Chains A and B, each alone.
Chain A
Amino acid sequence: MTLSHRLKPLRVRLLLLLAVVGPGIITANVDNDAGGITTYSVAGAHYGYSLLWMMPLVALALIIVQEMSARLGVVTGKGLADLIRERLGVRLTALIIGILLFANLANTVSEFAGVAASMEIFGVTKYLSVPIAAVVVWLLIVKANYKWVERVFLAASAIFLAYIISGVLARPPWGEVAKAFVTPSFQFEPGYVAIFVTIIGTTIAPWMQFYQQSSIVDKGLKITEYAYERVDVVVGSLFAVIVASFIMIACAATLHANGVRIESAKDAALALGPFAGRYASSLFAFGLLNASVFSAAILPLSTAYVVCEAFGWEAGVNHGWRDAPIFFTVYTALIILGAGVILLPIQSLVKTMMASQTLNGMLLPIILIVMLRLINEKRLMGRWVNGRAFNILAWIIVAVLILLTMILILVTLFPGFLGG
């Protein structure tokens, strides 16, 4: 007797398995959001290839941080907010979640700024595009199957490959590019320092650790599968940084080479037109739109989960407003505030994006120190605690990040600090 009538054939299952992209890769894709694309574009346009050398180091730092988050998730079966609350008490939890809430609000604002900017390239006013995007995002998550939504966005993320292609099409001098990757340089100029820190802040953002760890816990990955998960994390991180590098290369080869100054990703998209063709502009804009909407959907959702996870409130879209009031309030408020700020006539979108990255940058060292403390706890991690060399490397990263963050804060507060 055959069972095949109702059982999915193995072939289909394999395809399904392939379709389930790992948490590491998903997180990396959300990482290249509106703020990220803007930062990399501006970096490439203003400083050419001269910042490329930091990208391998950023990749290394990203891998180390995300690997720890993955290991914490797999070994403990708990989310990061959960662990912080259970191990470090209420006060620290309230502090971290408080800052995270603000940082993620700022990030959400910058995602909606990305929506506004990309749609303006297509001639749609932000007073139309942003409210529509906000409503669509809200409905997508509350009414639709999130798993399905995620697949659609992920498929659309293939557009990120377009950045790599446009980087190649821009015909950069490869010899010079290769040399730039291995030639460290530093300029003590406010703009340079700011973009330097912002690149790190946007690539290694604190929400990523929370998001990735929760996804891993949800997937129920076991320690026996950990080797695969590590591959997922490494591949995802490398992918994120490679895409980032190519955005910089594309903008450097076209805009920087021709002395075009830009302020935002929108400028970049528009400015690309004359050098790389109209389609390049549209593609760039569409990529920005996809990234913005994807992240605008994920950030408020993951923030609402983290808040509820930490304080023990009912969470979940299927619970409904009455059963999970705080979850829905946080989720909805982030979207309304995020979209609302963009509609105010006063602010500069670039400043908003930069502000969110600065908050990220300030939160990151705290999160990393907390993670290091958790991951070195024998009672929690057993034999999966950090090795000696790994710890040294991780602490060096923390130290560098703290130093850079302090420089950035000084530069932000006292613009004349570096004599610029």
Chain B
Amino acid sequence: MPYLSEMVGRPVTDANGERIGRLEDLIAARRDVAPPQIVALAIKRGSDLLLIPYEEAAALLAPAIPLLRPLQDIRPYEPNENDLYLARDILDKQIIDTDGVRVVRVNDLELARVNGHFFVVNVDIGGLGLMRRLGLARPTEKVAGRLGRKLASNSIPWDAVELLPGNHPMRLKVPSDKISELHPADLAALLSDLSRADSSRLLDSLDMETLADTLEEVEPDFQASLVEDMSDERVADLLEEMAPDEAADLLAELGEDRSEDLLNLMEKDEAADVRRLLTYPENSVGGIMTTEYVAVRPDLTALQAMAFLRKVGAEAETINYVYVTGRNDELIGVFSLQDLVLAHPRTPVEQIMHERIVTLSPLDSQDDAAHAVAKYNLLAVPVVDEDGRIQGIVTADDALDKIIPTAWKKRLPRMYR
């Protein structure tokens, strides 16, 4: 199949065989689903750049590309915002491989001809592509052949390619499906591979929920460096979207002044939760607990409890456990979602709840939380103060975080990673 690098630089002749310049670039129309289709040729003539519609070229693969008509009869191609200049915008640039979830550099582009039209089908990211660009493809293959190896060309299909926003400034800031469908943990991994400028552009294109989920996957100091350039309003929205314990961790990294500003911008309730969490030391149970749990009164029936869960459950960190609290928020019992579902609808939750409860205190260490989770096979452990009032819960993943750290610890500056 033809490669972009083999075409660029070829002479272009008009209908009379007269040389009019050389091929500088191919322009492809970016389309939503299908691979980009070549729509025009950019031809360097002296210091001018001529844009010739693809239909005017008699052949694209010839050693010298002939045009069908004399130059003066050809109406130049009208550029528009879906144009991709393949050599200028993609070749040698970094792109995101959404299948492999990594950032790679484009060594070449592979085109395919279907029904007389050319399409960009594959992106070559392998060493062979590099050698081809250096004019060393043949010798390399020969050497590899001698060594009894076959060089696999390393390319990724176009539909697994996402351009970095900085490389195609013409395009509007629309979050692409390929990117927003990635798992937040994968997005976080990508961020750590991108330069600062690129990662902040990528973050800008995400909606608030995806942004919050993604940031929750990285360590607070990396979070802090990512939100450094965002406006206070956007960060405040983000903090509201994040779980309060994560929000507190992030604020702790941002410094007292900015934290205070941000907390004032947040909604009162959410800000109050976060403020309380901020008073606990970082590696204490208080530092990792969340206040988004579900608590009900003992006299509720199972049916009422389920209705309540439907109403508030979406906001909670977990609904696997529902806590039962008395008049002063004191923890008196807990039941699981399973208990609830299996109970008769009219049974008061008092009768299905367990009263022997494993609890933590806010000043216990993170290790204590991990032990409790592991020893009693719990998905979450409630945190109570001296008077037995529930303050929050520690979920199993937060408790275990210290023992099994998040894969993407942080982005150390590139030279220093």
- A: residues with CB less than 8 A from B are 1-10, 13, 77-79, 82, 85-86, 89-91, 94, 145-147, 150, 211, 214-215, 217-220, 222, 301-302, 305, 311-312, 314-318
Interface centre among A6, A7, A79, A316 (most CB of B within 10 A): A6
What are 15 contact pairs spanning A and B, CB under 8 A? A1-B276, A5-B278, A6-B282, A7-B251, A10-B257, A94-B134, A146-B415, A146-B416, A147-B416, A215-B415, A218-B414, A218-B416, A312-B107, A316-B414, A318-B412
**Per a CB cutoff under 8 Å, which of B92, B229, B259, B282 touches A86?**
B92
- Which residue in chain B gives the minimum CB-CB distance to A4? B256
Known: A90-B134, A220-B196, A314-B102. A3 touches B415 (CB 8 A): no
Interface centre among A94, A150, A302 (most CB of B within 10 A): A94
Beta-carbon contact of A3 and B256 below 8 Å: yes
Whether B351 is near chain A, meaning CB under 8 Å from some CB there, is no
Chain B residues within an 8 Å CB radius of A9: 256
Beta-carbon contact of B409 and A318 below 8 Å: yes
Give the complex CA separation of A89 and B197 in angstroms. 22
Give the complex CA separation of A222 and B196 in angstroms. 11
Chain B residues within an 8 Å CB radius of A86: 92-93
Give the Cβ gap from B142 to chain A, nearest Cβ, in Å: 19
**Per a CB cutoff under 8 Å, which of A6, A91, A312, A314 touches B252?**
A6
Whether B55 is near chain A, meaning CB under 8 Å from some CB there, is no
Chain B residues within an 8 Å CB radius of A222: 229
Chain B residues within an 8 Å CB radius of A2: 279
Give the Cβ gap from B90 to chain A, nearest Cβ, in Å: 10
Chain A residues within an 8 Å CB radius of B251: 3, 7
Give the complex CA separation of A119 and B354 in angstroms. 71
Give the complex CA separation of A314 and B414 in angstroms. 12
Q: Lowest 6 A-B CB distances belong to which pairs?
A: A312-B105, A77-B197, A218-B413, A146-B416, A220-B196, A90-B133
- Which residue in chain A gives the minimum CB-CB distance to B274? A3
Other CB < 8 Å A-B pairs besides A1-B276, A6-B282, A89-B92, 4 of them? Answer: A90-B130, A90-B133, A217-B195, A318-B417
- Which residue in chain A gives the minimum CB-CB distance to B272? A1
Chain A residues within an 8 Å CB radius of B252: 6-7
Beta-carbon contact of B413 and A219 below 8 Å: yes
Beta-carbon contact of A10 and B134 below 8 Å: no
Beta-carbon contact of B416 and A150 below 8 Å: yes
Known: A10-B255, A90-B92. A147 touches B412 (CB 8 A): yes
Give the complex CA separation of A308 and B102 in angstroms. 14
Beta-carbon contact of B256 and A7 below 8 Å: yes
Chain B residues within an 8 Å CB radius of A150: 416
Whether B2 is near chain A, meaning CB under 8 Å from some CB there, is no
Give the Cβ gap from A58 to chain B, nearest Cβ, in Å: 26
**Per a CB cutoff under 8 Å, which of A1, A314, A318 touches B275?**
A1
Give the Cβ gap from A185 to chain B, nearest Cβ, in Å: 40
B82-135 at interface with A (beta carbon < 8 Å): 92-94, 102, 104-107, 125, 130, 133-134
Chain B residues within an 8 Å CB radius of A146: 412, 415-417
Beta-carbon contact of A10 and B415 below 8 Å: no
Whether B77 is near chain A, meaning CB under 8 Å from some CB there, is no
Interface centre among A1, A3, A145, A218 (most CB of B within 10 A): A3
Whether B260 is near chain A, meaning CB under 8 Å from some CB there, is yes
Q: Is the interface of A mostly helix, strand, loop or mixed?
A: helix
Whether B228 is near chain A, meaning CB under 8 Å from some CB there, is yes
**Per a CB cutoff under 8 Å, which of B106, B107, B228 touches A220?**
B228
Give the Cβ gap from B230 to chain A, nearest Cβ, in Å: 13
- Which residue in chain A gives the minimum CB-CB distance to B127? A311
Chain A residues within an 8 Å CB radius of B198: 77
Beta-carbon contact of B259 and A7 below 8 Å: yes
Known: A2-B279, A3-B256. A316 touches B417 (CB 8 A): yes
Beta-carbon contact of A218 and B415 below 8 Å: yes
Known: A6-B252, A7-B256, A7-B259. A214 touches B107 (CB 8 A): no
Give the Cβ gap from A88 to chain B, nearest Cβ, in Å: 9
Give the complex CA separation of A302 and B92 in angstroms. 21
Whether B225 is near chain A, meaning CB under 8 Å from some CB there, is yes
B252-297 at interface with A (beta carbon < 8 Å): 252, 255-257, 259-260, 275-276, 278-282, 287
Beta-carbon contact of A77 and B282 below 8 Å: no
Known: A5-B278, A219-B413, A220-B228. A312 touches B94 (CB 8 A): yes
Give the complex CA separation of A316 and B107 in angstroms. 21
Chain A residues within an 8 Å CB radius of B94: 312
Chain B residues within an 8 Å CB radius of A1: 275-276, 279
Chain A residues within an 8 Å CB radius of B133: 89-91
Give the complex CA separation of A82 and B417 in angstroms. 18
Beta-carbon contact of A91 and B134 below 8 Å: yes
- Which residue in chain B gives the minimum CB-CB distance to A218? B413
Chain B residues within an 8 Å CB radius of A8: 255-256
**Per a CB cutoff under 8 Å, which of B106, B225, B228, B279 touches A5?**
B279
Chain A residues within an 8 Å CB radius of B106: 312
Give the complex CA separation of A331 and B125 in angstroms. 22
Give the Cβ gap from B256 to chain A, nearest Cβ, in Å: 4
Chain B residues within an 8 Å CB radius of A94: 134
B192-244 at interface with A (beta carbon < 8 Å): 195-198, 225, 228-229
- Which residue in chain B gives the minimum CB-CB distance to A10? B256
Chain B residues within an 8 Å CB radius of A311: 105, 130
Give the complex CA separation of A9 and B275 in angstroms. 16
Give the complex CA separation of A4 and B280 in angstroms. 10
- Which residue in chain A gives the minimum CB-CB distance to B129? A90
Beta-carbon contact of A220 and B415 below 8 Å: no
Give the complex CA separation of A281 and B342 in angstroms. 84
- Which residue in chain B gives the minimum CB-CB distance to A93? B92
Give the complex CA separation of A3 and B259 in angstroms. 9
Give the Cβ gap from A411 to chain B, nearest Cβ, in Å: 33
- Which residue in chain B gives the minimum CB-CB distance to A7? B256
Give the complex CA separation of A89 and B24 in angstroms. 13
Chain A residues within an 8 Å CB radius of B105: 85, 311-312
Give the complex CA separation of A6 and B220 in angstroms. 13
Give the Cβ gap from A12 to chain B, nearest Cβ, in Å: 10
Give the Cβ gap from B109 to chain A, nearest Cβ, in Å: 13
